[in-house]
């Protein structure tokens, strides 16, 4: 297992969006295909960020600071209306700019530790700023399972 590297197990042909993609389209993809996040690339295929479900949904909840100050009274009707208003935004409005990545040549267990330290379930695989795939904890788990069957 120690000789396995990220490119051996990563997913290729990754679905991406651009900063100009409407949030409504992104949310449709997330709901339809059960994506928890999508890499954001510019017109040249350069990885510029990530848009995740949490980026969309976190806009509906009070911040920790507001909660600690006692200012947060969550009104579920208002939250539903706020969600509808989010559909008029673009990826650039909500995405996390910049993205932590792993290299295709990184050992998979090192990549898994990096993911765990950052609390990521999946991470873009990039060569420089060019997206070449995605690695999920499920990919790592599957590889470990297959390895355990062969020893």
> What are the tens digits of pLDDT across the range 84-132?
888 899 999 999 999 999 999 999 999 999 999 999 989 999 999 999 9
Average pLDDT, the chain: 87
CATH number at residue 67: 3.10.580.10
- CA Rg value for the chain: 18
Report yes or no on 108 lying in a domain: yes
Report yes or no on 129 lying in a domain: yes
Residue 56 has pLDDT above 70, yes or no: yes
Number of separate domains in the chain: 1
> For position 3, what pLDDT does the model report?
81
For range 23-48, the mean pLDDT: 94
Whole-number Å distance between alpha carbons of 60 and 63: 9
Which structural domain range is residue 90 located in? 6-149
For range 77-81, the mean pLDDT: 64
């Amino acid at each position: 297992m120690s000789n396995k590297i990220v490119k051996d197990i990563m997913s290729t042909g990754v679905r991406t969006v651009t900063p100009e993609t409407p949030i409504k389209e992104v949310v449709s993809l997330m709901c339809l295909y059960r994506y928890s996040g999508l890499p954001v690339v510019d017109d040249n295929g350069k990885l510029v960020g990530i848009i995740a479900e949490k980026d969309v949904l976190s806009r509906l909840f009070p911040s920790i600071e507001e909660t600690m100050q006692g200012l947060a009274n969550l009104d579920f009707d208002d939250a539903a209306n706020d969600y509808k208003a989010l559909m008029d935004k673009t990826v650039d409005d909500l995405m996390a700019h910049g993205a932590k990545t792993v290299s295709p040549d990184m050992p998979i267990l090192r990549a898994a530790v990096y993911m765990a330290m950052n609390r990521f379930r999946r991470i873009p695989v990039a060569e420089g700023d060019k997206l070449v795939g995605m690695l999920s904890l499920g990919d790592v788990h599957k590889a470990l399972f297959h390895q355990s069957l062969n020893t």
